[in-house]
Amino acid sequence: MEIDVKEFYEEKEIVTTDDVVIKVRQCVVDNDVIRSYLKNNIVKFIFFDEKYSDISSDNSVHDIHKLKSKYRGNTYVRLPLRIVQPTDSKYNEKIVIDTTAETPDGFVIVSKRDLCEKNKTLLHKSKKIKEAVAHLKCENSVIEYNYILMGKLFQVKHINKDTDEVLNETLFAGDF
């Protein structure tokens, strides 16, 4: 996940038994972080209502007909989205995939071609497999995006205890 994060909350340190220290910092999620996530993700989130323009990848699309002509079904996988009030009123709203919605609030979209470019093993797979992978990518991106919108984005570093060398650094969206 490539996101440009500039600010962090306090750091927590976890010492493991195998000479590795794990340092975790929660990222400050602001509009710049959300824009960076949308820009660097091959999955697009498009909402029709203007009030969600700050969390939408493409603000030029405002209705389903324009969306279907711009993002054609033979090139893109499109899944309908609804914005719902979660049962735990901890968070204001949540994005969910709803294939039964007659009038969706938006769509999550991924290009099959972009997906194949990122994952070369898909190039010679059947259309059915490519679509299944695209659906999975969309579902996972919706989960990840919900966590980012809730401010649950963490930087995780694995550091060699003896040399202070950073072995691995990644961003993680989820509960920690």
Single pTM value for the model: 0.84
The 8-class DSSP code of residue 120 comes to G
pLDDT tens-digit map of 113-172: 899 998 899 888 888 999 999 999 999 999 999 999 888 899 999 988 888 898 898 888
Give me the mean pLDDT over the 36-42 stretch: 91
Q: Which pairs count as long-range contacts for 43-46, CB under 8 Å and 24+ apart, including other chains?
A: 43/108, 43/109, 43/110, 43/137, 43/138, 43/141, 44/71, 44/108, 44/109, 44/110, 45/81, 45/95, 45/106, 45/107, 45/108, 45/109, 45/141, 45/145, 46/71, 46/106, 46/107, 46/108, 46/109
Mean pLDDT, the chain, integer: 86
Q: Alpha helices of 28-119 — where are they, by DSSP H?
A: 31-40, 64-70, 112-118
